[in-house]
């Protein structure tokens, strides 16, 4: 049961990671990033390079909570599987 909690946390972490990582990768490739909010604005690298870089840094820093959640959930699930295996071996 607790193993599924670790797997769920890892999957949620992946979702949070990719939610910020994929728009960052798209912005790096295309040179256009959209702001987050009710009315997203289009910011181009050639027109506003400082704002573009600041928005990209913000997107990239949004990856870390998801990565931490993924690593924590994965570690928790692996510890649960190791505990189950050690109890089953006895």
Tokens encoding 66: 């998801």
**Domain enclosing residue 28, as ranges:** 2-89
Residues 28, 53: Cα–Cα separation, whole Å = 10
> Which pLDDT belongs to residue 57?
95
| Res. 2 pLDDT band, cuts 50 70 90 | confident
Q: CB–CB of 61/67 below 8 Å?
A: no
Q: What is the pTM of this model?
A: 0.82
For residue 47, what pLDDT is reported? Answer: 95
**Number of domain units in the chain:** 1
Residues 6 or more apart whose Cβ sits within 8 Å of residue 68? 13
pLDDT of residue 1: 79
C-alpha 57/C-alpha 59 separation (Å) is 5
d(C-alpha 78, C-alpha 53), whole Å: 38
């Amino acid at each position: 049961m607790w193993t599924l909690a670790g797997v769920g946390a890892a999957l949620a972490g992946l979702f949070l990671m990719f939610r910020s990582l994929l728009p960052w990768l798209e912005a790096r490739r295309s040179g256009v990033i959209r702001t987050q909010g009710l009315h997203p604005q289009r910011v181009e690298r050639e027109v506003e390079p400082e704002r573009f870089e600041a928005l990209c840094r913000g997107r990239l820093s949004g990856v870390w909570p998801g990565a931490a959640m993924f690593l924590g959930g994965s570690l928790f699930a692996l510890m649960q599987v190791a505990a189950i295996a050690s109890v089953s071996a006895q």
